[in-house]
Structures are given as structure tokens and as C-alpha cells.
Structure 1
Amino acid sequence: MKRFAFKMYLKPGCEAEYEKRHAALWPELRRRIADSGVRNYSIYWDRDTNILFGYQEVTGDANSQDAEAADEITHRWWDYMADIMEVNPDNSPVTVPIKEVMHLD
């Protein structure tokens, strides 16, 4: 199992909408993420910077942010979220991997 941490950027004033949309995460997206081998997935919001911090454990080679492995459901979700986050030209979230420097079980 690989651990993957990353940050994304939430647009100012979109905090409540971001939480609302994730509270109603599409069941088909939830299944897609699980079926792709992603486990223990969390997203945290830093109120001071509007940076979103994501963490997930991955059994396969791809992670939930991997644009090359994204399917139609994931692309629809990215399109749905594009108005409230910083995104790439394909509407995938701007994702910056964060290097692990310490781990303790």
C-alpha cells in the first residue's frame, strides 16, 4: 500500500459549497474511487490559506488525482467542481504532490 498526500486550491468564498458537494458525493464516484484501489481517503481544509490537503492510501499504480487513469465519472466530477477550485485546462484539479518525510505506525 502506497501513501499519497497532495494539496489543491479552493477558490475564496467557495468553502461552504465545497463541503456541500462533498457531503453529497456521487455513489458512482465513491465506487469508482474504491474500485481503483484508493483507501483511507481524507481531504482537509486549511482556513488560513484555502489550501485543501488530501491523503489516501493506494493499492494500485494510480491515485484519485491521476488524470491519465481518470474515467468518465471522474471527468464529470472534475467538471462539476471546476467553478470552485483551481483547475487545469482539462478541469482536473491543480494537484501538487507532497513528499512524505516521516511516517509512524
Structure 2
Amino acid sequence: MIRKAFAMKVFADCHAEYQKRHDEIWPEMVEMLREHGAQSYSIFLDAKTNTLFAYLEIDDEERWGKTAETEICQKWWAYMKDVMETHADHSPVTVELQEVFHLGNK
């Protein structure tokens, strides 16, 4: 299992809308994430800094990397561009985080 973490930014006045959109995530988006190897995916919000912390477990880096090429991912990015920091292609601005500690199950 590969563990990944990254940070993103949500606009200060969009916390509730960001939450709402994820509460109502499209089934086809969930299906695509699973098809591309997402085993577990969580996003946390630090409301004081507008920082989103995402934690993801995948089974294959190359397979996961192809999510951005899917039509549903492109559609999701366009849907989310008004509530968070994004690039010109509407992909979220992300900062990959380095794992410095992990206490796993034995």
C-alpha cells in the first residue's frame, strides 16, 4: 500500500460549499477513484488557515497518475474551481507532503 498526503487551499468563504460538494460526491467520481486504485481517501480542513489536508492510500502510483486524464476528473475539477485554488487547467494547486513517521499495524 502506498500512502500519499498533500495540502490544498479552499477559499475562506467556501468551507461549507466545499464540504457540501464532497458530501454529495458524484457516484461516477467515486467509481473512477476506486478503479484507479484508491483504497482510502480522506480530506481534512484547517479552517484557520483554509488548508485542506488530503490523505490517500493507493495500490499503484502509475495507475493513480492516470486519474487526471479521465473525463470525470476533468469535470470535477471544473466544478470545484470556484471554491479552491486551482491551476489554469482547473486542477487543484497541491503541495505533496513527505511522510516522516508512520505507526502501522503489525
TM (normalized to structure 2)?
A: 0.92
User: Structure 1 residues 63 and 53 mapped into 2: Cα distance closer, same or farther (>3 Å)?
Assistant: farther
Match of 1:56 in 2: 56
Q: Give 5+ residue unaligned stretches, structure 1.
A: none
Listed as ranges, the matches of 1:22-101 within 5 Å are: 22-62=22-62, 66=65, 69-70=67-68, 71-101=70-100
Where 1:91 maps in the other structure, the secondary structure is coil
Using the aligned pairs only, state the percent identity: 45
Q: Residues 61 and 75 from structure 1, CA distance in 2 versus in 1: closer, same or farther, beyond 3 angstroms?
A: same
Q: Distance in 2 between matches of 1:63 and 1:88?
A: 22
Equivalent residue letter for 1:26: W
Q: Give the whole-Å Cα distance in 1 for the aligned partners of 2:87 and 2:22.
A: 20
After TM superposition, give the deviation of residue 12 of structure 1 in Å: 1.2
Kindly provide the amino acid, as one letter, of the partner of residue 51 in structure 1: T
Q: Cα distance, 1:69 vs. partner? A: 4.0
8 Å contact kept, 1:62–1:69: no
Unpaired stretches in structure 2, ≥5 consecutive residues: none
Hey, what's the Cα distance between the residues in 2 that align with 1:34 and 1:82? 23
Provide the C-alpha distance between the structure 2 equivalents of 1:27 and 1:47, rounded to a whole number of angstroms: 27
Shift of 1:39: 1.3
CA contact (8 A) 2:14 2:83 kept: yes
- Decide whether aligned partners of structure 1 residues 74 and 43 sit closer, same or farther in structure 2, where only a CA change above 3 A counts: same
- Structure with higher helix content: 2
SS at 1:14's partner residue?
Answer: helix
**TM-score, L = length of structure 1:** 0.93
